[in-house]
């Protein structure tokens, strides 16, 4: 599913070199390391939000560096779901409209039943007509998980999803990510410095 080889990214004079890594389809994997070591950058490279300085990065056999910007946007919308550190939801839309927007971006037909099912699993169905600025941080994060999985992506990426959560919510979010990934048979990659999450995963890339 994911294969990286001799991957490097440069920020000014700082060069980040990543170890070669392979993640199988359906696998649940983790990228661990301290703040500033390049976890988020690697996740952004995998998501095609940044271009590597050198090296190879293949997803489902596709070399992302070879895609045009619009091709990359399309590939991401159709194949990759991302849970960011901050939710980045569209504030002027309601919870349910944010999920409809994600379906449209993924070139899917509006599927209200699927949205209802996801909101139910995430226990936020009662909030579906609320504007996102009316939500708590935890609620907004669950919406962002819903948005990431609504198109049943082949690859689900999560960047520090538990960073600001207490132990109970941390466990809950990881369970949600894993169960949502299992439902859609997606490959899950979590980037985190959170020690509480580390032992939950077998395939681990340490930076």
Residue 88, interface with other proteins (CB under 8 A)?
A: yes
- Of 88, 168, 102, 173, nearest in space to 133 by CA: 88
Residue 132, interface with other proteins (CB under 8 A)?
A: no
Nearest-approach distance from CB 45 to other proteins, in angstroms: 10
Residue 44, interface with other proteins (CB under 8 A)?
A: yes
Residue 104, interface with other proteins (CB under 8 A)?
A: yes
Residue 9, interface with other proteins (CB under 8 A)?
A: no
Which residue among 37, 50, 65, 67 contacts other proteins (CB under 8 A)?
A: 50
> If you compute the radius of gyration of the chain from its CA atoms, what whole number of angstroms results?
17
**Cα distance between the two ends of the chain:** 20
Q: How many residues bind other proteins (CB under 8 A)?
A: 16
Secondary structure class of 59 (helix, strand, coil): strand
Which residue among 20, 24, 60, 73 contacts other proteins (CB under 8 A)?
A: 73
Which residue among 37, 93, 138, 169 contacts other proteins (CB under 8 A)?
A: 93
Which residue among 84, 119, 177, 180 contacts other proteins (CB under 8 A)?
A: 84
CA distances (Å), origin 134, targets 3, 127, 165: 40, 9, 19
CA distances (Å), origin 100, targets 44, 71, 149, 183: 24, 21, 12, 19
- Of 141, 143, 156, 140, nearest in space to 96 by CA: 143
d(Cα 124, Cα 119) in Å, to the nearest integer? Answer: 5
Q: Which stretch binds other proteins (CB under 8 A): 94-102, 118-126, 174-182, 184-192?
A: 94-102
Q: Using CB under 8 A as the criterion, which residues of the chain lie in contact with other proteins when the complex forms?
A: 44, 49-50, 73, 84, 88-93, 97, 100-101, 104-105
């Amino acid at each position: 599913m994911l294969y990286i080889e001799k991957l490097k990214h440069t920020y000014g004079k700082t060069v980040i070199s990543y170890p070669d890594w392979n993640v199988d389809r359906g696998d649940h994997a983790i990228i661990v390391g301290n703040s500033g070591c390049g976890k988020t950058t690697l996740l952004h490279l995998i998501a095609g939000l940044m271009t590597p300085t050198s090296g190879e990065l293949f997803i489902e056999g596709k070399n992302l560096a070879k895609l045009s910007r619009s091709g990359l946007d399309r590939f991401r919308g159709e194949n990759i779901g991302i849970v960011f550190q901050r939710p980045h939801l569209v504030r002027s839309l309601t919870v349910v409209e944010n999920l409809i927007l994600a379906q449209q971006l993924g070139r899917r037909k509006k599927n209200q039943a699927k949205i209802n099912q996801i909101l139910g699993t995430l226990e936020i169905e009662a909030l579906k007509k609320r504007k996102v600025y009316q939500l708590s941080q935890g609620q907004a994060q669950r919406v962002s998980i819903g948005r990431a999985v609504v198109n049943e992506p082949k690859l689900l990426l999560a960047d520090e999803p538990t960073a600001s959560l207490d132990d109970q919510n941390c466990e809950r979010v990881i369970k949600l990510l894993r169960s949502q990934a299992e439902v859609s048979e997606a490959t899950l990659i979590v980037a985190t410095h959170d020690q509480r999450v580390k032992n939950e995963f077998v395939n681990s890339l340490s930076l």
